[in-house]
Amino acid sequence: MSPFALTRAYHFSAAHQLANPALSDEENARIYGQCFRRHGHNYGLEVTVAGAVDPATGMSVDLGVVDAAVKTAVLDRVDHYDLSATVPALAGVITTGENLARAFYHWLEDALPPGVLRRVTLVETANNVFEYSGETHADEVTPR
């Protein structure tokens, strides 16, 4: 693993509702509280990439490539959308911070050069920050 890592910060706004369709409204309200109601966030998205330093440029990663990948793979798909209702790649996914961070990681993994993505951090609120670094388990749903 490269000793050099870079984290880029991005922002987007989106709405969502936390609800499991297999549960009643009462159960969803008990589990998710006020987040069972449709609401929105001004999210922060941090993408950490790493690579060996190119002696010709002095850089470990081409920021233009990273920015373009984040824009097309994530931001264009989620900014100013209802994540629970209008993003086809998230259909059937409970749009918790954990599930969103994991989905965004996999979207970026497909969009970036192989091996450069290290971590995705999703800042939902000042108190809720979710990190995902690609460790996948057999029972995880991986929205693409």
> In which region does residue 134 sit, left (phi positive, over 0), alpha (psi from -120 to 50) or beta (all else)?
left
Which residues are tagged catalytic? 35, 80, 124
Q: Is residue 141 part of a domain?
A: no
Alpha-carbon distance values, 21 to 24, 28, 93, 96, 119 (Å): 7, 9, 10, 14, 30
We report the CATH number of the domain holding residue 122 as 3.30.479.10
Task: Give me the pLDDT at residue 85, please.
Answer: 96
Task: Please state the domain count of the chain.
Answer: 1
Burial class of residue 43, CB neighbours in 10 A (0-12, 13-18, 19+): buried
Q: Do the domain assignments include residue 14? A: yes
The C-alpha atoms of residue 52 and residue 2 are separated, in whole angstroms, by: 6
Q: Could you list the pLDDT tens digit for every one of the 144 residues in the chain?
A: 667 899 999 999 999 999 999 999 999 999 999 999 999 999 999 999 999 999 999 999 999 999 999 999 999 999 999 999 999 999 999 999 999 999 999 999 999 999 999 999 999 999 999 999 997 655 555 566
Q: What pLDDT does 143 receive?
A: 61
Tell me the C-alpha distance between 34 and 36, whole Å: 5
